[in-house]
Amino acid sequence: MSVKIGIRHEDKYASERRTPLTPRHVKMLKDKHDLEFVVQASPKRIFKDEEYIEAGARVAKNLSDCPVIMGVKEIPVDFFEKNKTYIFFSHVIKGQSYNMPMLKRMMEMGCNLIDYEKVADEQGKRLIFFGKFAGLAGMIDSLWSLGQRLKLQGYTNNPFLKIKQSYHYDSLAEAKKEISEAGREIAEKGLPKELLPLTIGFTGYGNVSMGAQEIAAMLPIKEISPEKLLKLQERKELPNNIIYKTIFQEKHISKPKNNSQKFELQDYYNHPEKYENNFEQYIPHLTILMNCMYWDTRYPKIFTKEFARKLYENGEPRIKAIGDVTCDPDGSIEFTHKGTEIEDPVFVYNPYTGKPKMGFEGDGILVMAVDILPSELPRDSSEAFGDALVNFIKPIADTDFSLGFEKLVLPAPIKKATILLNGRLTPEYEYIKEFL
């Protein structure tokens, strides 16, 4: 017999309004499989408590009678109960130090942990993700940020001022409509000569980048190669109503330290220590940098503090804004010192002082680095996320987690994403011990 499934209230961020399953998904699972849901009361969730009640769920203050509990972001250390199953983005697979106390507590309590980030098919392709919505919201916020920054620099009537921050829109469709209007204005009236050519660079080509490019496509966009980007400013009589976009792959971002060696993608993945930055040559040619790629500490940084300082030695550079959707603190964009909040989304990094200043004002490079971008489009992103997740819920609810890992009956992508079983790291994740 299936067990009760709890959906917890999100509390890591004040503006976190997403949910792993919407009322529509709850009703679908209840009608089809007679599953029982308990939803923790929330005053801010994008879907109201009453909507879940109408879908057949029970709303309660706590989830103490639920053996399986689902959420979105990390869970407070004191929330966990013995021998329960938790499904959420745990952010522990890179050994993130700030989440090791949480993981340790789960181990002490004999908990099971399933992480959405590791739910993947046989080819390793992720099946459940918010990534596309991070890209969508990230591009919207970056265009809005550009408009605000340009306004302070004297462009008081620039077309990007029509665009709002993502969370001010009721839906993605509404945001796209407004961005399309800005795109029409650019196509008809053009851009200020001083801003030409206006270019957008995208690092990466996965779900996040595809989401960002989907928004950019609302503007009069023309795609050019990284090689052509380097020569674009040499062209005479550039049209003033075109925005140029460039997609950067790994071979553009990094190069072998050994000049006699050619770039090989698999070798780069296996031995990133053999490679160094190749991206700095493109930065002076970009107006907006959308950082949408996967990165961890093994890989070269793509925009260092030192290079930012060199860039400004020649005066105000072309680059006006960075949308750091990747958002690794002190990571690929070295001066992204932290993920920002929806209510305070941007800062200006001053290369001369090496210090950031929150807001749009100041000397230096504007950075938008909101840590929970999909939550700015909470309704659309929750619907899409739940659609990907819904068919895994019944098997999880029916699973006997007291069995050993080898005997555990779960769909292969979910079993692959099981980091803890009865408080012990499963074979694929034993490497995390060294970070504990």
Domains with residue ranges and CATH for the chain:
5-114+378-424 (3.40.50.720), 131-376 (3.40.50.720)
Residue for token pair 């779960």: 410
Tokens of 147: 């408009």
Residue 236 is classified by DSSP as S
Per-residue confidence (pLDDT) for residue 296, from 0 to 100: 87
Q: Report the alpha-carbon distance of residue 165 to residue 140 in Å, rounded.
A: 7
Q: Report the alpha-carbon distance of residue 73 to residue 382 in Å, rounded.
A: 13
Q: Report the alpha-carbon distance of residue 417 to residue 55 in Å, rounded.
A: 29
Q: Report the alpha-carbon distance of residue 392 to residue 402 in Å, rounded.
A: 19
Per-residue confidence (pLDDT) for residue 321, from 0 to 100: 98
Nearest to 419, CA basis, from 130, 99, 129? 99
**Angle, CA 12 vertex, CA 143 and CA 139 arms, to 5°:** 10
Q: Report the alpha-carbon distance of residue 314 to residue 293 in Å, rounded.
A: 29
Q: Report the alpha-carbon distance of residue 363 to residue 356 in Å, rounded.
A: 10
Phi, psi for 340 (deg, rounded to 5):
-95, 165
Count CB-CB contacts under 10 A for residue 171: 11
Q: What is the dihedral angle through the alpha carbons of 213, 215, 221, 223, rounded to the nearest 10 degrees?
A: 0
Q: Report the alpha-carbon distance of residue 24 to residue 10 in Å, rounded.
A: 19
Nearest to 138, CA basis, from 353, 293, 354, 31? 293
Q: Report the alpha-carbon distance of residue 399 to residue 51 in Å, rounded.
A: 28
Residues 374/137, Cβ–Cβ less than 8 Å: yes
**Residue count (the chain):** 436
Q: Report the alpha-carbon distance of residue 25 to residue 54 in Å, rounded.
A: 12
Nearest to 159, CA basis, from 209, 130, 198, 132? 198
Per-residue pLDDT of the chain (436 residues; tens, 9 = 90+): 568 999 999 999 888 999 999 999 999 999 999 999 999 999 999 999 999 999 999 999 999 999 999 999 999 999 999 999 999 999 999 899 999 999 999 999 999 999 999 999 999 999 998 989 999 999 999 999 999 999 999 999 999 999 999 999 999 999 999 999 999 999 999 999 999 999 999 999 999 999 999 999 999 999 999 999 999 988 888 999 999 999 999 999 999 999 999 999 999 999 999 999 999 999 999 999 999 999 988 999 999 999 999 999 988 999 999 999 999 889 999 999 999 999 999 999 999 999 999 999 999 999 999 999 999 999 999 999 999 999 999 999 999 999 899 999 999 999 999 999 999 999 999 999 999 9
Tokens of 177: 């409509």
